[in-house]
Amino acid sequence: MEKVLKDLKNYHESDEGKPYFNKDKYEVFDYDFNKVMRISGPIYFIDGGNQEVISDNSFCISFNKVAYASFDHTKKKVDSKNFWSSSILKKDMKYKTRFMDEMIEFDAYDPRLESSGNRVSPLKISNLIRKIGEFMFAKDLCDSVKDSIIVLDGILLSNHEILKKYINELYYSAEKNNNIICSVAKTSNLVTTTGRSLNEVVSSKKNGAFYVKIAKSKFDEHNATIYLLRLHERSDHVFRFEIGRTWEKDAEKVIGVLADNSKDPVFLGYPYGLVVADELARVSNNETEFMRTKFSVELSKKDKMLAKTLFKKNPHGVLDSIKF
């Protein structure tokens, strides 16, 4: 243990370094900290959740939720939408995926989705569908509101042409109605040129509430400028914030509105609207079991033997139920 502790200490005492990005794809900036100034304004927070209802190694049926929480001064409004999705592997080694009124295909060996060369799992496809659902929900919102900030959970990367199609439609709708698209990520894998955690380095360099621009994408699949920020002076948390390149000039205002929404002690320094949206979009274990039972009953009405075959207990479940 002593050697491990020493390694960890040496890591934290190493040089800070600069933000590390692929310079062919990103313009990288030096640390230039700016003070956060709270302001109020109309803002919508969107998140999604999903759980597999039934699956094996070649298909996945999922129940999905997308939700938003909006805040305009002191007014709060919430809404959500539920939908089922199916991803089924066909003999051409493509997943045929159905959700809402959409039907799309994914190559089961697409290296953008599975870099190891193995087949993409149907559960991974299901998670992509949830993300597309969030983009579609945000687009519908942009079609109905104006002059507002739309905040997604995560980052604005679309590393597949299907994702790119839906996020481009979202950006177009937002620009048309003078809305702004941005995102906040709870976690970050960004590092510095010396291998340190970029969030940790940035956090140690500045007290109080701040934001710092660290990189701007040069390629269409990631249409965003990237910041790190602390949204409350008494918070220990630094988050990754992205805003579409079109709206980079509005970043200071958007961050100010985010900060105004990040004062709740339930998660100080994190936008309360994302807490609410996360809660609304979360698919609980109890809800999953209810949907699984409902699906099983409906399937039994159509094909009792198929339902019995698909809903048999898997080996892991059998082992989990054994008491040693």
Q: How confident is the model at residue 6 (pLDDT cuts 50, 70, 90)?
A: low
Examine residue 307 and state whether it is found in any structural domain, yes or no: no
> pLDDT tens digits for 290-316?
998 888 888 888 877 777 777 765 444
Within a domain: residue 309?
no
Spatial CA neighbour of 223 closest among 165, 147, 146: 165
Beta pairing, strands 225-230 & 43-55: unpaired
143 vs 14, which has greater pLDDT? 143
Question: What was the pLDDT predicted at 272?
Answer: 94
Check: pTM over 0.75? Answer yes or no.
Answer: yes
Question: Closest by alpha carbon to 26, among 18, 15, 38?
Answer: 18
Structural domains in the chain (count)? 1
Alpha-carbon distance 56 to 122, whole Å? Answer: 8
d(CA 119, CA 99): 22
Least confident of 8-17, 37-46, 215-224: 8-17
The CA distance from 261 to 41, in Å, is 10
Separation CA 252–CA 63 (nearest Å):
37
Neighbours of 185 (CB within 10 A): 17
Q: What is the C-alpha to C-alpha distance for residues 63 and 86, in angstroms, rounded to an integer?
A: 9
Position 219 in a domain: yes
Distances (CA, A) of 58 to 54, 108, 124, 160, 316: 11, 10, 11, 21, 18
pLDDT, one tens digit per residue, over 138-153 is: 999 999 999 999 999 9
Query: In whole angstroms, what is the distance from residue 240 CA to residue 292 CA?
Result: 36
More confidently predicted of 7 and 194 = 194
Place of tokens 């709060």: 76
Tell me the C-alpha distance between 137 and 239, whole Å. 24
In a domain, 295, yes or no: no
CATH of the domain at 115: 3.30.2170
The rounded percent of the chain whose pLDDT value lies above 70 is 92
Residue 299 lies in a domain: no
The answer as to whether 113 is a domain residue is yes
Q: Which two tokens stand for residue 313?
A: 């207990």
Quick check: is 270 in a domain? yes
Is there a contact between 134 and 66 (Cβ–Cβ < 8 Å)? yes
Structural domain span for residue 138: 20-281
Instruction: Note the helical H segments in 98-231.
Output: 122-144, 161-176, 198-205
Quick check: 318 pLDDT over 50? Answer: no
| 222 confidence band (pLDDT: 50, 70, 90) | very high
Cα separation, 6 vs 2, whole angstroms? 6
Residue appearing with tokens 């409350």: 232
For residue range 226-269, what is the model confidence (pLDDT) as tens digits?
A: 999 999 999 999 999 999 999 999 999 999 999 999 999 999 99
Task: For residue 225, tell me if it sits in a domain.
Answer: yes
User: Residue 23 corresponds to which tokens in the numbers above?
Assistant: 């310079």
Residues 95, 121: Cα–Cα separation, whole Å: 10
Query: What local confidence, expressed as pLDDT, does residue 300 receive?
Result: 84
